[in-house]
Structure 1
Amino acid sequence: MEYQFIRDPITGYRVRMSQEHALVGRWLNEELAIADVKQFVQQMDMLGQDQEEIRLEGKEVRLTLSKDEALFEAHTLYQNEVDLSRYEDDFLELDEDGLMAGCGFEDFRALMLDWQAFTQGRR
């Protein structure tokens, strides 16, 4: 997984990720508060001991984390009540690329530890 951390004076801390993991970057940038990173990393380390899975429902992205993988899903994937056919005349369609991303637990943990160090000024 490729990523680049950015410290922007206007928007704050940001992460830029490869296209295939863009949803992971969106989750980090928009869903997980910087103040909650340390607590989240501690919660990750408890996986397998206290609980088998962590599920976080964000505003736009759901994270399902197990001791094997991290799965990110945009809520737009589950909007079945919306009749998309009414938008056909506007040439709009639901592009499912970028609405789901996943990675192994160890890769995700390494990302989170790097993000924690970066946001706390240790990197």
Structure 2
Amino acid sequence: MEYQFIRDPLSGFRARLNDEHALIGRWLSEELAHERIVSLLTQLENLPNQKEELVLAGKEIRATFTPQEALFESHALFHESDDIAQYQEDALALDESGMMAVCGYEDFLPMLIEWAEFTTAK
């Protein structure tokens, strides 16, 4: 997984990931509060010993952490078909590309640790 962290003077810290994982970059940049990173890392360390998954529902993205992987889904995926059906006359459809990303912990955890370090560095 390729990623780049950017310090933007206008919008703050940004994470840019490859196209396949772009939603994870949005989640890091827009949904994950910096204060939450340390507690999230602790919860993820203990997750393999638990039977339940950890779900963090943000404003636009839901993150689901299972013992095997991290799954990120845009809330737009969960719209009722009736909501989208009204746009069919206009030949509009929901483009689901980029609305879901999956990542194994061997890639996700080191990236999350680097993100925590990057966002605290001055």
Q: 1:89 maps to which residue?
A: 89
The percent identity for this pair of structures is 48
Q: Could you state the TM-score of these two structures normalised by the residue count of structure 2?
A: 0.90
Secondary structure of 2:72's counterpart equals strand
Equivalent residue, structure 1, for 2:42: 42
Query: For 1:64, what is the secondary structure of its paired residue?
Result: strand
TM superposition shift of 1:51: 5.1
Letter in 1 for 2:107: D
Secondary structure of the residue aligned to 2:92 is coil
Normalization by structure 1: what TM-score? Answer: 0.90
Report the Cα distance in structure 2 between the residues aligned to 1:115 and 1:51, rounded to whole angstroms: 27
Q: Structure 1 residue 121: deviation in Å?
A: 0.9
Deviation, 1:82, is 3.3
Question: What is the SS of the residue equivalent to 1:47?
Answer: helix
Segment of structure 1 superposing worse, 87-96 or 112-121: 87-96
Match of 2:14 in 1: 14
| SS class of match (2:6) | strand
Distance of 1:60 and 1:71 partners within structure 2: 14
Aligned length: 122
Show CA shifts across 1:18-61 (max 9, x none): 11101111111111011211121111111123454211111111
1:16 deviates by 0.6
